[in-house]
Structure 1
Amino acid sequence: MDFPSLTTERLLLRPWRHDDLVPFAALNADAEVMRHFPACMSREESDLLAARILQHFDEQGFGQWIVERRSDGAFIGVLGLARVSFEAAFTPAVEIGWRFNVAYWRQGYALEAARAALDFAFDQLKLDEVVAFTVPANLPSQGLMQRLGMQRDEAGDFEHPRLPEGHALRPHVLYRIRRP
């Protein structure tokens, strides 16, 4: 199946290539990038995640794109859409998520890429709603959610079912955005 690419003023959101596995693994091994996740990933764990992302594309026709800078092809990170793969009060749902290299933080790249992904979600996939979630301490991601026009759903905040009871990262905040 051919996966669509999305183009913005500065970015290309494109399908995966085999040579993306190395920079993706470096991204997943970066302690600062992974600060709000349970742990950094080994190369094997990162490759397994990439395989799940590609399987999601195959099964759903959408997923997390590679985000690269158009001016020089630099690998910025990943951003895209995924069906939430666990049960919660707000599921079934499609989430938008991102993970960018630290060198590209605070330059508007995530906002630019996320707007393109949301446009795709609403215009091409005809979704009625997209959600996003993170831990309460991840204020930069929450700020991005707000800049995208997402609204916090405090009643929807939840305990992440894939983390054990009492884990510091188990509480999550939920944001939503509806099709315009």
Structure 2
Amino acid sequence: MRKEGGGLIFIMISYEIAEKLQLPFIADLFNKIEDLYPVLKHLNPYDIPYDTKSSFSLYINHRKTFTGITDNDRALTIKRFAELAENLINQEDSKKILHEFGKEFRSPGHVPICIASKNSLRERRGHTELSTSLLRIAGLTPIASGCEMMGDNGKALSKTEAKKYAQNNKIVFLEGNEIIEAWEKWLE
């Protein structure tokens, strides 16, 4: 992902998994502590040009990583997060869930977690909601890793270039509206 995509590598999870792990949206966390750290009032992400609310939560590293930034460290963090979350999804004991999560991960780290909105694609249509909805349709645990693809011009890779990349690498290219259509049919 780092070499081919070039953008931020992150984890995307459903709102339900975030609730199980008691993960906050980072903007909500900052709002709660802005009296202790007044600079946070000034950093509030009220002006995101592409959305009304950031999906970012905590940044984590697996405890067995060294710096957490190497490809191997981030791969371990992502892999173990997905495995742990899948195992805990049906667990009801919140103390055990938090203990297991804290035993394996520390924060801050180098892998951000993005949380899908509570009402998924009814509320927001970002990469987090699209990915977790696609996984639900497929009958899989709604946890994915992702990376924005960067172009050589310093901007996000254009749709045309992304399609060309997918074709050259024999990867299915899905448009957001295709996932939304499939999700709406799946809900019926």
Alignment TM-score, normalising by the size of structure 2? 0.29
TM-score (norm 1): 0.30
Q: Give the number of the structure whose residues are more often helix, by fraction.
A: 2
Higher relative contact order (CA 8 A, sep 6+): 2
Compare the two structures and name the one with the higher strand fraction.
1
